[in-house]
Chains A and B, each alone.
Chain A
């Protein structure tokens, strides 16, 4: 936005101010934390306990990485007090849109975090010496399989095999491009800073995904709809998040999360403070509250998502730990490909590839 939008900006601001004054009368008394997060990260009982302890109301908005950035971009970083983008999407979004403010590390109890994860996240979200994110929840992208019917699927590329034709689902988003690239023996992360090399990888992945399209039942959007497709037997093999696989496993032992042979894709979702956050104090209180081992363990128990809270894993019950170890034997854990920060501009070329895959005719 440059100066030429000044007049428009001004009149819009006027309108917003007017609406704001109307709102002010009603909401001045109750302290509020407006949280922009993912489905499953904030169980109701945790919210209730936080409200009882601090007297702060928590207003939860569920979202995903792209929507978080778009929403904050539209308001210049306003409207929310705390957001939870993935660690690899913070630095470029901050550089491009200036939507976050640095985290005041003195207000966070560092002892609550797994040290290696805290340091890695801080390093990946640092811009001009300021830290913009601390980790909360981590997980992986991999294969969720109905092992009774899709035992042949070992890697992402096997989703394109005839054995599972018509019973496959994955998202049409950037993780799928990365996953297929790894599965086809390439290393997209190594090419992150070389646009030409990255384009070459994308072209190969695009050809593969178009060839694979007849195999796909539908591209899934929300994890709930995917889980329903697998439960009803309409889909037997999917690329999805580990927690989804474990949720299915609780009901049906045949269904589980499997780490693919080319490596699961590891992500870390963070806490980041929007630039125009109004209640920063509440945000820090929330961070220190949910990172307490006993609260973090409850979140994991409820959602199957693992947290970066130090000591939470020892509080989990035996069944859940067993589930994790079945999906992630030590070598699979070592094989996880963690997302490095995405350089700005990469998403534009990926977008073109995804558009072309979507537009390709499958039958």
Chain B
């Protein structure tokens, strides 16, 4: 008896040691900072260096329409960006996975990847050079006689949307290509043989098969967009209003770590909630999507 329990114990210690890097990483870099953030968000500054427990930071968020509006706006725009990315990314992925053959396929896939070899900052500046009033597109339109004077295309919501979709395209295309690759061509052919047209085949065969890829692509894109700081800030200019910006401002320029932490938690709740609703609506489970 004693030897067998000893053996099991040793096994357990071994497993624990193996899992240690993961556990340490989870605890020190994910759980611990979040617990600290939660504690900070639940206190109120009374006077110099004196703090007390309070819900004021959360109440503030709901009372001040400004924060609430930014929050909703960020969520809605992120959802729109996700849908747009899916609508553009799906045909692209289908073309790469099902229509192209051999070398051309790899070349196209690589073309999708190449912009991501430079950092997001550089890509965003690229868009700014194209779209600004004295930029490439504005000058071209004037040269071609389409526009009379310089046109400002930066600093509005449409530009933010372009930037967001562009930034997240790869994260939609990669899972879609891999899931569409696994779809047997004969299933599509059978669909046509049985009298289906392009629409019904896509609806009844391709999309149901691609659902896990669509779900995981959408989750990643949505999370990235919701948590994006650079693109809305640079392309949106004076009207950008992104919730992450609000968090940055609270932490850095207002020295208000308390409300910054509260906002951080609210953003976490929002993204979890929307992803959960999305999974429920598409009847996917998280484990299915991740695998």
A-side residues, CB < 8 A to B, are 1-2, 4-5, 8, 11-12, 15, 66-67, 69-70, 73, 95-98, 166, 172-173, 213, 216-219, 232-234, 344, 347-348, 351-352, 355-356, 358-359, 361-362
Tell me whether chain B's interface is mostly helix, strand or loop, or mixed: helix
Is A351 within 8 A of B66, CB to CB?
no
Q: Which residues of B contact A352 (CB under 8 A)?
A: 64
Q: Which residues of B contact A12 (CB under 8 A)?
A: 32
Indicate whether B28 reaches chain A with its CB closer than 8 angstroms.
Answer: yes
Q: Which residues of B contact A97 (CB under 8 A)?
A: 49, 255
Interface string of B234-275 (1 = CB under 8 A from A): 000111010000100111111110000000000000000000
Number of interface residues of B (CB under 8 A): 32
The one of B32, B39, B64, B239 that contacts A362, using a Cβ cutoff of 8 Å: B239
- Chain A residue nearest in CB terms to B241: A359
CA distance A351 to B36 in the complex (A): 24
Q: Which residues of A contact B249 (CB under 8 A)?
A: 351, 355
Is B241 within 8 A of A234, CB to CB?
no
Which 4 pairs show the lowest CB-CB distances between chains A and B?
A218-B237, A351-B254, A66-B253, A232-B134
Indicate whether B228 reaches chain A with its CB closer than 8 angstroms.
Answer: no
CA distance A51 to B256 in the complex (A): 38
CA distance A233 to B134 in the complex (A): 8
Known: A15-B28, A232-B134, A361-B239. A69 touches B255 (CB 8 A): yes
Q: Which residues of A contact B256 (CB under 8 A)?
A: 348, 351
Interface string of B27-71 (1 = CB under 8 A from A): 010001001100100000000110100000000000010110110
Q: Which residues of A contact B155 (CB under 8 A)?
A: 217-218
- Chain A residue nearest in CB terms to B53: A4
Known: A8-B36, A12-B32. A359 touches B255 (CB 8 A): no
- Chain B residue nearest in CB terms to A221: B233
B-side residues, CB < 8 A to A, are 28, 32, 35-36, 39, 48-49, 51, 64, 66-67, 69-70, 132-134, 152, 154-155, 237-239, 241, 246, 249-256
Is B28 within 8 A of A11, CB to CB?
yes
Q: Which residues of A contact B66 (CB under 8 A)?
A: 355-356, 359
Is A358 within 8 A of B253, CB to CB?
no
Is A96 within 8 A of B32, CB to CB?
no
Q: Which residues of A contact B251 (CB under 8 A)?
A: 70
Known: A69-B255, A96-B49. A218 touches B39 (CB 8 A): no
Is A344 within 8 A of B48, CB to CB?
yes
In the assembled complex, the CB of B237 is this many whole angstroms from the nearest CB of chain A, namely 4
- Chain B residue nearest in CB terms to A14: B28
CA distance A27 to B164 in the complex (A): 42
CA distance A67 to B249 in the complex (A): 10
